[in-house]
Amino acid sequence: MEVQTTAYPIEILTASYQIMGEFTPRGNPALFLNDPQVASFRLEKGTLVPLMPGARIGEMAVGSLYVPRDEVQIVVIGNLDAQGAALLPRPLKLVCFTDTYAVRATFHTGQETRIEDVVATSGLFLPATDAEIFALRPLMADIGGEAPLIFIHKKAIKAFYEPTE
């Protein structure tokens, strides 16, 4: 039996780094992100950009780069659409804050999930569509913009609310 793998371009934002590369998950990437047996993500053709002002190293190109899963705050997977992310049925617009980023996006929850329980749902990475990302502090790289689909590490979320507009 052969394990089906597909390579996806990926961008990962941590509190201190922007990381880009090629990501080859086993099976559906949305499920792979939440696989409890995966402790770190391996990226090929990785590029590591320090974000903290005053960093004494610049952009680094690395062959294979490993990123511990709990460091990741936001993941953008190229060539993956919302259909491939197996979204839950109820869309919910939220603004959420990590220690470094503010994100406005549509999250997807179960019909019965209360807003306050969004971060208590199973799975570490919450898929969100139509996302806008904003860096809360000056960073060494121009981080921010829009993405049709992102995944947010729920433990990175410090506070969140439902925008009224």
Partner 1 sequence: MQGLRIVVTNYTVDILTAHYRVYGILRTRGDPTVFLNDETVGSLTVYDAVLTPLRADVRIEPMAVDVLHIPKTEPQVITLGDFKPQILPLPKSVRMVCITDTYVLRGNIHMAPDTLPQDAFYVHRGPFFYVTKLDIMSLYPLGIQVNAHSELGYIRGSAVRAFYEPRGEEAQG
Nearest approach, Cβ of residue 137 and partner 1 (Å): 5
In the bound state with partner 1, the residue whose beta carbon lies nearer, of 2 and 142, is 142
CB of 140 to partner 1, least distance (A): 12
Which is nearer to partner 1, 30 or 126 (by Cβ)? 126
Helix (H, G, I), strand (E, B) or coil at 151: strand
d(CA 86, CA 51): 32
Nearer to partner 1, 59 or 99 (CB): 99
Helices in the chain by DSSP H: which ranges?
29-33
Burial status of residue 1 (CB atoms within 10 A of its CB: 0-12, 13-18, 19 or more): exposed
> Min. distance of Cβ 70 from partner 1 in angstroms?
13
Binding footprint of partner 1 on the chain (CB under 8 A): 53, 97, 99, 102, 115-120, 135-138, 154-155, 157-162, 164
Nearer to partner 1, 87 or 118 (CB): 118
Residue 85 Cβ vs partner 1, minimum distance, rounded to whole Å: 22
In three-state form (DSSP H/G/I as H, E/B as E, the rest C), the secondary structure along 37-91 is: CCCEEEEEEEEEEECCCCCCCCCEEEEEEEEEHHHCCEEEECCCCHHHHCCCCEE
